[in-house]
Structure 1
Amino acid sequence: MYELKTKENENSVIEFIENVGHPQKKEDAYRLLDIFTETTGFQAKMWGSSIIGFGSYHYKYASGHEGDAPLVGFSPRKAKISLYMATGDGAREELLASFGKHTAGKGCVYINKVDDIDINVLRALIKQSVEFLRKTYREE
């Protein structure tokens, strides 16, 4: 059976950020840590070896595949910073129009640096993602 590699663990978020090689990405990781923590109210946790996640939810797809994932999160990757946020009901795309310099995938938004984006829009994106996932995957 398939086992998820990206699980919540007890690894240190601060230690992970301290090991980010690029000084600007390290500084941005600390800024994002503050923004995500303040916006969600959740303590940061490591998910897998490189994702800093906030909160969690349990999902189960029609295929039977299920697991746990952070409500939102980020990872200061070598090429770009990945922001993990749900696509939601179209609200994400509307917010991204005024977000600043970025590219977007299905569940990720990629930025070069925090100075390229609007922090207030980031906070709105985080809130939208948390609300959407809580509504979609509420415990029954």
Structure 2
Amino acid sequence: MKLMARILSVFLAIPLLMFVFSVSASASAVSTAGTKTYTVTVKTADVADAGTNSKIQIKLHGNNGDAGWFDLNGSSSDPFERNAVDKDIFTLSDLGTVKTLEIFSDGSGNKSGWKVEYIKVNDGTNTWFFYYNNWIGENGAQIVTFTK
């Protein structure tokens, strides 16, 4: 009787495993099919002490949802310095039209204040500009929302 129960459980497990593998394969196909590559360009203002060494993060919001928080590391060895243009590239789910973004500065490091002139987001087809020209993180950690 125990042998029969084991054989039966094996036969029941095989279709279940096939179903699980089928679902996970189709889920991964869906998640990669709906992605886009986003280039985020940040321009630091050209004024005294405009640069920062603080940790900077971004969160993009589109009409298809938001992307969560991502570190901005810039495209140079010393990003976000006076008059610098820094780029980061992210592969994310298709956000649709980018309507809003949030920037977080942890306010750390020497001269934590950062004067952002603009942030540009490009998805390979569309480009959105968010002009700010103001300070972020001068008095510690801060989140600023940029809206189109």
TM-score range, shorter chain: under 0.3
TM-score computed with the length of structure 2 as normaliser: 0.24
* Larger proportion of strand: 2
Computing the radius of gyration over CA atoms, which structure comes out larger, 1 or 2? 2
Name the one with the larger helix percent. 1
Higher RCO, 1 or 2 (CA under 8 Å, sep at least 6)?
Answer: 2
